[in-house]
Amino acid sequence: MFDKDSGRSCPSVCQVANSKSVCCKRVFGWVLLIVMVTSLAYGASVAYHSQNQKHQEQVLQIDGAIDSWESQYRDETKAWKPVLINNANEEVQFSELNTPDFHSQFSDLHNYTVVKYNIDNIVDVLRDSTETKKENPNNGEFNLTSTLLVNFNDGNTLSLEDIPVYIRKKSSRSSKDCTLNKIGYWNRTDNSCYVYNQVVHLCYIVDHNNFPNLASNYSVFPCDEINRSYASFAFYRWTDPINEPTFSQLSTVHNITLSVRSSKDPYVVGYTKVDLVKSKDNNTMLFLGLIIGVVSLFALIIPFKLIMTEDEFVPLNTQENHRFMRKV
């Protein structure tokens, strides 16, 4: 068509109908191109990292830790045979666990023989233990703690001090949420909501070179793939603004588990001395990087095809054609 007034060609009916579709395809193509290029770069970096000297050194550290564990420290740990002592001076036996902590992609860590100790539930032991309050005078928060004793087969004793059984923390919840939903209790003095948490899992790392003392970094150690700290907590509903919960009121909704393991355990070494995430074996990382790179390279065809999309002739139906012509 030709516009006599302006002297310019008018867009055809089909061009108007398809311009939006073509534009969307091209935009999507550019987005997909960016994604594919990023994926290609990631695959290249993974392949490069597999041959990185630092990575190879980390793998050697893990492999060395496994060799030392299997040849010496595993049998020494098996000889611990720890027992927990309650207030009545009775022994509560630990179970020896041999379940692995890792999946197969982590170097050879899935192959070593695991030796760690666990008690499924220490609620009854804690209920009979002595409470000690550790308060922070600056913010009203505090811990209600206990101390437990662990005896080893050779006569040594480990004292687990200041176990945080309850923790009271200041929450950002509103007065209405705190009170009506029974999340905690509202302190009118500082206009703050205070909530309680109860411990549900404890894991202690024994310094194998300084047995039976705890390792210096046990408090920041991720105990396993589920419990990412030496102490894990669950919400404890307590709304009394005057009285504090006692150990006799410990919730039984969750078990309170207790674990003990050696600082020479390859799992511990992996998380405290090297970057375990980068300790996958070289061949696995190289293969993974190449696969990502090759797939991304072939996938680049798709965004290029979308970007180069040309207008196609798609006629409108008769009714739409007449409507467009009237507007013109």
* pLDDT at site 274: 55
Paired sense of beta strands 95-97 and 142-151, if any: unpaired
Single-letter code of the amino acid located at 43: G
Given 235, 264, 293, the domain boundary residue is 264
Same-domain status, 298 and 173: no
Same domain? For 136 and 231 the reply is yes
pLDDT at 52: 59
- Name the token pair of 36: 């594919």
The residue to which tokens 């594919």 are assigned: 36
- Domain membership of residue 181 (yes or no) is yes
Together in a domain, 203 and 290: no
Question: Is residue 83 assigned to a domain?
Answer: no
C-alpha pair distances (Å), 231 with each of 160, 161, 193, 219, 220:
12, 13, 23, 8, 9
- Looking only at the bridges linking them, the beta strands covering 185-187 and 157-171 are unpaired
Q: Confirm whether 232 is domain-assigned.
A: yes
Residue 297 lies in a domain: yes
Residue 314 has a pLDDT of 47
CA distances to 35, 154, 257, 278 from 49, rounded to whole Å, are 21, 46, 39, 9
CA angle 62, 63, 69 (to 5 degrees): 90
Residues 246 and 302 occupy one common structural domain:
no
Which residue from 191, 159, 155, 197 is spatially nearest to 176, judged by alpha carbons?
A: 191
pTM: 0.65
Are 243 and 313 found together in one domain?
no
Domain extent at residue 127: 116-264
**255 plus 143 within the same structural domain:** yes
Q: Are residues 149 and 216 in the same domain?
A: yes
- In a domain, residue 310? The reply is yes
Q: Indicate whether 76 belongs to any domain.
A: no
Residue 141 lies in a domain: yes
Same domain, 184 and 226: yes
3-state class of 245 per DSSP?
Answer: coil
For the chain, the C-alpha Rg in angstroms (whole number) is: 32
Q: How many domains does the chain have?
A: 2
Helix axes 282-299, 13-50, angle to 10 degrees: 160
**Residues with Cβ < 8 Å from 14, sequence gap 6 or more?**
311, 313, 314, 315, 316
Number of Cβ within a 10 Å radius of residue 180 = 9
DSSP secondary structure of 64-106? HHHHHIIIIIHHHHHTT--EEE-TTS-EEEPEEE---SS-TTS
Determine the residue type at 321. N
Residues 6+ positions from 205 with CB-CB distance below 8 Å: 214, 215, 217, 218, 221, 230, 261, 262, 263, 268
CB neighbour list of residue 93: distance below 8 Å, 6 or more residues apart:
83, 84, 119
Shared domain check, 260 and 131: yes
Hey, how many other C-beta atoms are within 10 angstroms of the C-beta on 236?
22
Any idea which residue has 């609620």 for tokens?
Answer: 123
Q: Which residue has the tokens 């050194």?
A: 57
Q: Are 160 and 225 within one domain?
A: yes
Domain presence at residue 269: no
Residues 133 and 246 in one domain: yes
For every one of its 328 residues, what pLDDT tens digit does the chain have, with 9 covering 90 and above?
A: 444 444 544 444 444 445 656 677 677 667 777 777 777 777 677 666 655 556 567 677 778 888 899 999 999 999 999 999 988 889 999 999 988 776 544 455 667 888 999 999 999 999 999 999 999 888 889 999 999 999 999 999 999 999 999 999 999 888 888 888 888 889 888 889 999 999 999 999 999 999 999 998 888 776 666 666 789 999 999 888 888 899 999 998 889 999 999 999 888 887 766 555 444 455 666 667 677 767 776 666 776 666 666 655 445 455 554 454 454 4
Please provide residue 124's backbone torsions phi and psi, each rounded to the nearest 5 degrees: -65, -35
Please tell me the distance from the alpha carbon of residue 306 to that of residue 115, in angstroms, as a whole number: 56
74, with CB counted inside 10 A (0-12, 13-18, 19+), is buried
Residue 297 and residue 168 share a domain = no
135: which strand partners? 142
Residue 257 contacts residue 82 (beta carbons within 8 Å): no
